[in-house]
Protein backbone atom coordinates (compact mmCIF):
# COMPACT_ATOMS: atom_id res chain seq x y z
CA UNK A 1 0.00 0.00 0.00
CA UNK A 2 1.41 3.40 -0.93
CA UNK A 3 0.78 6.53 1.06
CA UNK A 4 -0.70 9.52 -0.70
CA UNK A 5 1.53 12.60 -0.93
CA UNK A 6 0.93 15.47 1.45
CA UNK A 7 -2.27 17.41 0.76
CA UNK A 8 -2.01 21.15 0.34
CA UNK A 9 -2.65 22.11 3.96
CA UNK A 10 -0.81 19.90 6.34
CA UNK A 11 -0.60 18.72 9.86
CA UNK A 12 2.23 19.54 10.57
CA UNK A 13 2.26 22.86 8.78
CA UNK A 14 3.95 22.73 5.35
CA UNK A 15 6.93 24.74 6.56
CA UNK A 16 7.58 22.07 9.18
CA UNK A 17 8.08 24.84 11.70
CA UNK A 18 6.28 24.99 14.99
CA UNK A 19 3.23 27.12 14.57
CA UNK A 20 1.54 29.67 16.80
CA UNK A 21 -0.98 28.41 19.29
CA UNK A 22 -4.05 28.36 17.10
CA UNK A 23 -3.19 25.66 14.56
CA UNK A 24 -5.90 27.03 12.29
CA UNK A 25 -5.56 25.91 8.73
CA UNK A 26 -3.83 22.66 9.60
CA UNK A 27 -5.61 19.70 8.08
CA UNK A 28 -5.31 16.12 9.17
CA UNK A 29 -5.95 13.93 6.16
CA UNK A 30 -4.91 10.60 7.65
CA UNK A 31 -3.28 8.84 10.54
CA UNK A 32 -1.46 5.56 9.91
CA UNK A 33 -0.62 2.96 12.53
CA UNK A 34 2.20 0.55 11.68
CA UNK A 35 2.70 -2.68 13.62
CA UNK A 36 5.47 -3.28 16.15
CA UNK A 37 5.65 -6.45 18.22
CA UNK A 38 3.67 -8.23 20.93
CA UNK A 39 4.72 -8.67 24.55
CA UNK A 40 6.95 -11.62 23.59
CA UNK A 41 8.64 -9.69 20.80
CA UNK A 42 6.82 -11.45 17.94
CA UNK A 43 6.10 -9.09 15.03
CA UNK A 44 2.68 -7.47 14.76
CA UNK A 45 1.27 -7.39 11.26
CA UNK A 46 -0.56 -4.11 10.99
CA UNK A 47 -0.88 -1.29 8.49
CA UNK A 48 -3.93 0.69 9.38
CA UNK A 49 -5.01 3.96 7.83
CA UNK A 50 -7.55 6.24 9.51
CA UNK A 51 -9.40 9.21 8.02
CA UNK A 52 -11.57 11.98 9.50
CA UNK A 53 -14.98 10.62 10.43
CA UNK A 54 -13.65 7.09 11.09
CA UNK A 55 -14.63 5.30 14.27
CA UNK A 56 -12.28 2.53 15.33
CA UNK A 57 -13.08 0.37 18.33
CA UNK A 58 -10.43 -1.52 20.27
CA UNK A 59 -11.42 -4.71 22.05
CA UNK A 60 -9.47 -7.35 23.95
CA UNK A 61 -9.14 -8.86 27.41
CA UNK A 62 -7.96 -6.86 30.42
CA UNK A 63 -4.24 -6.20 30.16
CA UNK A 64 -4.09 -7.04 26.46
CA UNK A 65 -2.76 -3.61 25.48
CA UNK A 66 -5.75 -1.46 24.50
CA UNK A 67 -4.61 1.53 26.52
CA UNK A 68 -1.05 1.01 25.25
CA UNK A 69 -2.31 1.29 21.69
CA UNK A 70 -4.07 4.57 22.50
CA UNK A 71 -0.93 5.83 24.24
CA UNK A 72 1.14 4.98 21.13
CA UNK A 73 -1.13 7.21 19.08
CA UNK A 74 -1.07 9.95 21.69
CA UNK A 75 2.71 10.29 21.56
CA UNK A 76 2.97 9.55 17.82
CA UNK A 77 5.20 6.58 18.62
CA UNK A 78 8.25 6.05 16.40
CA UNK A 79 9.32 2.57 17.47
CA UNK A 80 10.24 4.06 20.85
CA UNK A 81 7.46 2.72 23.10
CA UNK A 82 7.15 -0.81 24.60
CA UNK A 83 5.13 -1.98 21.57
CA UNK A 84 7.57 -0.77 18.90
CA UNK A 85 4.71 0.71 16.84
CA UNK A 86 5.00 3.69 14.51
CA UNK A 87 2.48 6.39 13.68
CA UNK A 88 2.44 8.39 10.45
CA UNK A 89 0.68 11.74 10.13
CA UNK A 90 -0.59 12.46 6.64
CA UNK A 91 1.46 9.55 5.40
CA UNK A 92 4.81 10.63 6.77
CA UNK A 93 6.74 10.24 10.00
CA UNK A 94 6.50 13.58 11.81
CA UNK A 95 9.94 15.13 12.09
CA UNK A 96 11.37 15.16 15.60
CA UNK A 97 11.17 18.89 16.04
CA UNK A 98 7.50 18.96 15.28
CA UNK A 99 6.67 15.77 17.10
CA UNK A 100 8.41 17.00 20.22
CA UNK A 101 6.98 20.47 19.99
CA UNK A 102 3.82 21.75 18.48
CA UNK A 103 1.75 18.59 18.10
CA UNK A 104 -0.17 18.96 21.32
CA UNK A 105 -3.31 20.07 19.52
CA UNK A 106 -3.50 16.92 17.43
CA UNK A 107 -5.01 14.56 19.97
CA UNK A 108 -7.71 14.94 22.63
CA UNK A 109 -8.59 12.34 25.23
CA UNK A 110 -11.56 11.30 27.30
CA UNK A 111 -11.06 8.56 29.83
CA UNK A 112 -12.81 7.12 32.83
CA UNK A 113 -10.08 8.40 35.17
CA UNK A 114 -10.66 12.01 34.27
CA UNK A 115 -12.47 14.47 36.47
CA UNK A 116 -13.20 18.16 36.46
CA UNK A 117 -11.14 19.71 39.23
CA UNK A 118 -11.46 23.44 38.62
CA UNK A 119 -13.64 25.40 41.01
CA UNK A 120 -15.93 27.14 38.51
CA UNK A 121 -19.49 26.84 37.27
CA UNK A 122 -20.16 25.00 34.03
CA UNK A 123 -20.89 28.22 32.14
CA UNK A 124 -17.91 30.13 33.52
CA UNK A 125 -15.55 27.32 32.62
CA UNK A 126 -16.98 26.82 29.12
CA UNK A 127 -16.68 30.56 28.50
CA UNK A 128 -13.05 30.36 29.60
CA UNK A 129 -12.35 27.41 27.31
CA UNK A 130 -14.08 29.17 24.43
CA UNK A 131 -12.00 32.29 25.06
CA UNK A 132 -8.80 30.20 24.93
CA UNK A 133 -9.91 28.80 21.60
CA UNK A 134 -10.60 32.37 20.44
CA UNK A 135 -14.08 31.51 19.14
CA UNK A 136 -16.11 34.45 17.92
CA UNK A 137 -19.14 34.09 20.20
CA UNK A 138 -17.99 32.35 23.38
CA UNK A 139 -21.37 32.59 25.16
CA UNK A 140 -23.25 31.06 22.27
CA UNK A 141 -20.79 28.18 21.87
CA UNK A 142 -20.83 27.58 25.64
CA UNK A 143 -24.62 27.29 25.56
CA UNK A 144 -24.36 24.90 22.62
CA UNK A 145 -21.90 22.67 24.47
CA UNK A 146 -24.18 22.60 27.48
CA UNK A 147 -27.20 21.67 25.37
CA UNK A 148 -25.24 18.86 23.68
CA UNK A 149 -23.99 17.56 27.01
CA UNK A 150 -27.53 17.49 28.34
CA UNK A 151 -28.65 15.54 25.29
CA UNK A 152 -26.04 12.89 26.18
CA UNK A 153 -26.48 12.77 29.96
CA UNK A 154 -29.30 10.94 31.71
CA UNK A 155 -30.03 13.68 34.21
CA UNK A 156 -29.79 17.24 32.85
CA UNK A 157 -27.73 19.87 34.66
CA UNK A 158 -27.76 23.65 34.62
CA UNK A 159 -25.28 26.25 33.47
CA UNK A 160 -24.75 27.49 37.01
CA UNK A 161 -23.91 24.05 38.42
CA UNK A 162 -20.39 23.81 39.86
CA UNK A 163 -18.21 21.63 37.61
CA UNK A 164 -17.00 19.60 40.56
CA UNK A 165 -20.59 18.82 41.53
CA UNK A 166 -21.39 16.98 38.30
CA UNK A 167 -21.98 13.24 38.50
CA UNK A 168 -19.67 10.82 36.69
CA UNK A 169 -22.05 10.51 33.74
CA UNK A 170 -22.71 14.25 33.55
CA UNK A 171 -18.96 14.94 33.62
CA UNK A 172 -18.29 12.46 30.83
CA UNK A 173 -21.16 13.93 28.78
CA UNK A 174 -19.78 17.43 29.20
CA UNK A 175 -16.25 16.26 28.33
CA UNK A 176 -17.47 14.70 25.11
CA UNK A 177 -19.61 17.66 24.09
CA UNK A 178 -16.76 20.03 24.86
CA UNK A 179 -14.28 17.89 22.93
CA UNK A 180 -16.60 17.76 19.92
CA UNK A 181 -17.44 21.46 19.82
CA UNK A 182 -14.61 23.31 21.49
CA UNK A 183 -11.47 21.26 21.08
CA UNK A 184 -9.26 21.89 18.07
CA UNK A 185 -7.95 18.34 18.04
CA UNK A 186 -8.92 16.25 15.00
CA UNK A 187 -8.27 12.97 16.83
CA UNK A 188 -10.15 11.84 19.94
CA UNK A 189 -9.05 8.88 22.04
CA UNK A 190 -11.70 7.43 24.32
CA UNK A 191 -10.68 4.94 26.99
CA UNK A 192 -13.58 3.03 28.58
CA UNK A 193 -16.51 5.34 29.07
CA UNK A 194 -19.18 2.63 29.10
CA UNK A 195 -20.03 2.83 32.78
CA UNK A 196 -20.74 6.51 32.62
CA UNK A 197 -24.40 6.02 31.71
CA UNK A 198 -24.36 8.38 28.73
CA UNK A 199 -25.93 7.86 25.33
CA UNK A 200 -23.02 6.17 23.57
CA UNK A 201 -24.49 6.30 20.06
CA UNK A 202 -25.20 10.02 20.26
CA UNK A 203 -21.76 10.67 21.73
CA UNK A 204 -19.93 8.98 18.84
CA UNK A 205 -22.21 10.60 16.27
CA UNK A 206 -21.50 14.02 17.78
CA UNK A 207 -17.74 13.50 17.54
CA UNK A 208 -17.71 12.15 13.99
CA UNK A 209 -20.11 14.88 12.85
CA UNK A 210 -17.22 17.23 13.59
CA UNK A 211 -14.97 15.21 11.30
CA UNK A 212 -12.82 13.74 13.99
CA UNK A 213 -11.03 10.44 13.95
CA UNK A 214 -12.39 8.60 16.97
CA UNK A 215 -10.74 5.63 18.68
CA UNK A 216 -12.62 3.88 21.44
CA UNK A 217 -11.15 1.25 23.74
CA UNK A 218 -14.04 -0.70 25.21
CA UNK A 219 -15.34 -3.82 26.93
CA UNK A 220 -18.92 -2.96 25.94
CA UNK A 221 -20.43 -4.99 23.06
CA UNK A 222 -22.72 -2.15 21.93
CA UNK A 223 -19.88 0.33 21.72
CA UNK A 224 -17.63 -2.30 20.08
CA UNK A 225 -20.12 -2.75 17.23
CA UNK A 226 -20.68 0.98 16.71
CA UNK A 227 -17.37 1.51 14.95
CA UNK A 228 -16.75 1.01 11.26
CA UNK A 229 -13.94 -1.34 12.21
CA UNK A 230 -12.66 -2.94 15.35
CA UNK A 231 -9.18 -3.97 16.38
CA UNK A 232 -8.84 -7.14 18.38
CA UNK A 233 -5.87 -6.88 20.73
CA UNK A 234 -4.19 -9.77 22.54
CA UNK A 235 -0.83 -10.11 24.31
CA UNK A 236 0.10 -6.56 23.37
CA UNK A 237 -0.51 -6.84 19.62
CA UNK A 238 -3.37 -6.33 17.20
CA UNK A 239 -4.61 -9.81 16.27
CA UNK A 240 -7.27 -8.84 13.74
CA UNK A 241 -8.90 -5.84 12.09
CA UNK A 242 -12.57 -6.57 11.53
CA UNK A 243 -15.01 -4.53 9.46
CA UNK A 244 -18.38 -4.32 11.14
CA UNK A 245 -20.57 -6.49 8.87
CA UNK A 246 -24.17 -5.87 7.81
CA UNK A 247 -25.21 -8.81 9.99
CA UNK A 248 -23.41 -7.26 12.95
CA UNK A 249 -25.10 -3.92 12.34
CA UNK A 250 -28.47 -5.65 12.37
CA UNK A 251 -27.48 -7.42 15.54
CA UNK A 252 -26.37 -4.10 17.02
CA UNK A 253 -29.89 -2.79 16.50
CA UNK A 254 -31.22 -5.76 18.49
CA UNK A 255 -28.66 -5.19 21.23
CA UNK A 256 -29.66 -1.55 21.39
CA UNK A 257 -33.34 -2.47 21.80
CA UNK A 258 -32.36 -4.85 24.56
CA UNK A 259 -30.27 -2.12 26.14
CA UNK A 260 -33.20 0.29 25.90
CA UNK A 261 -35.42 -2.23 27.70
CA UNK A 262 -32.86 -2.59 30.45
CA UNK A 263 -32.53 1.18 30.72
CA UNK A 264 -36.27 1.45 30.97
CA UNK A 265 -36.36 -1.08 33.79
CA UNK A 266 -33.61 0.88 35.49
CA UNK A 267 -35.58 4.08 35.06
CA UNK A 268 -38.72 2.52 36.48
CA UNK A 269 -36.87 1.11 39.48
CA UNK A 270 -35.28 4.50 40.06
CA UNK A 271 -38.69 6.15 39.87
CA UNK A 272 -39.96 3.84 42.60
CA UNK A 273 -42.14 1.73 40.36
CA UNK A 274 -42.72 -1.96 40.96
CA UNK A 275 -41.74 -4.22 38.07
CA UNK A 276 -44.78 -6.00 36.73
CA UNK A 277 -43.75 -9.38 35.34
CA UNK A 278 -46.54 -9.19 32.74
CA UNK A 279 -44.89 -6.17 31.14
CA UNK A 280 -41.60 -7.97 30.62
CA UNK A 281 -40.43 -7.98 27.01
CA UNK A 282 -40.91 -11.10 24.93
CA UNK A 283 -37.24 -12.08 24.89
CA UNK A 284 -37.14 -12.50 28.64
CA UNK A 285 -37.43 -16.01 30.04
Partner 1 sequence: MRVITVAGPPSVGKTSVVLKTAQALGERAGRIGVVKFDALATSDDAVYARAGLPVVAGLSGGLCPDHFFVSNIDDCLDWARRQGIDLLIAESAGLCNRCSPHLQAALGVCVVDTLSGVHTPRKIGPMLKLADLVVITKGDIVSQAEREVFAFNVQAASPQARLLAFNGITGQGAVELGHHFARAPEVERLEGSRLRFSMPAAVCPYCIGETSIGREHQRGNVRKMPFPEAAP
Ligand X SMILES: Nc1ncnc2c1ncn2[C@@H]1O[C@H](COP(=O)(O)OP(=O)(O)OP(=O)(O)O)[C@@H](O)[C@H]1O
Residues engaged in binding partner 1 (CB under 8 A) = 18, 21, 71, 74-75, 80-81, 96, 99-101, 104, 108-111, 113-120, 125-126, 128-129, 132-133, 171, 174-175, 178-179, 182-183, 185
DSSP 8-state assignment for residue 278: G
Judged by CB, which is closer to ligand X: 178, or 191?
191
Kindly report the number of other CB atoms within 10 A of residue 207's CB atom. Answer: 25
Residues 102-161 that bind ligand X (CB under 6 A): none
d(CA 184, CA 148): 17
Q: Is 260 helix (H, G, I), strand (E, B) or coil?
A: helix
Binding-site size for Mg ion (CB under 5 A) equals: 1
Name which position in 141, 153, 236, 252 contacts ligand X (CB under 6 A): 236
N- to C-terminal Cα separation, the chain: 51
Q: How far is the CB of 44 from ligand X (least distance, A)?
A: 7
Burial of 177 (0-12, 13-18, 19+ CB in 10 A): buried
Asked if 256 interacts with Mg ion (CB under 5 A), we say no
Residues 54-83 that bind Mg ion (CB under 5 A): 67
Q: How far is the CB of 72 from ligand X (least distance, A)?
A: 9
Site track for ligand X across 39-58, x = CB under 6 A: x-------------------
Buried b (16+ CB within 10 A) or exposed e, 52-68: bebbbbbbbeeebbbbb
Asked if 63 interacts with ligand X (CB under 6 A), we say yes
Burial of 209 (0-12, 13-18, 19+ CB in 10 A): exposed
> H or E element: which one contains 231?
strand 229-234
Name which position in 12, 60, 138, 197 contacts ligand X (CB under 6 A): 60
Give residues in contact with ligand X (CB under 6 A). Answer: 37-39, 60, 62-68, 82-83, 236-237
Amino acid sequence: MTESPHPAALWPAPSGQSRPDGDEGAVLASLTLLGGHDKDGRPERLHLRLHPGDILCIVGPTGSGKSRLLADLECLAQADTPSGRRVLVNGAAPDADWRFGAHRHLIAQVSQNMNFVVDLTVEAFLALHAACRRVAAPERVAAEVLACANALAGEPFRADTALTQLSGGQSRALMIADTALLSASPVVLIDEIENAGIDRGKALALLTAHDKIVLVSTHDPILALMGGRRLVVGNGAVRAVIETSAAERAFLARLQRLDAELMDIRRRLRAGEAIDGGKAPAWMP
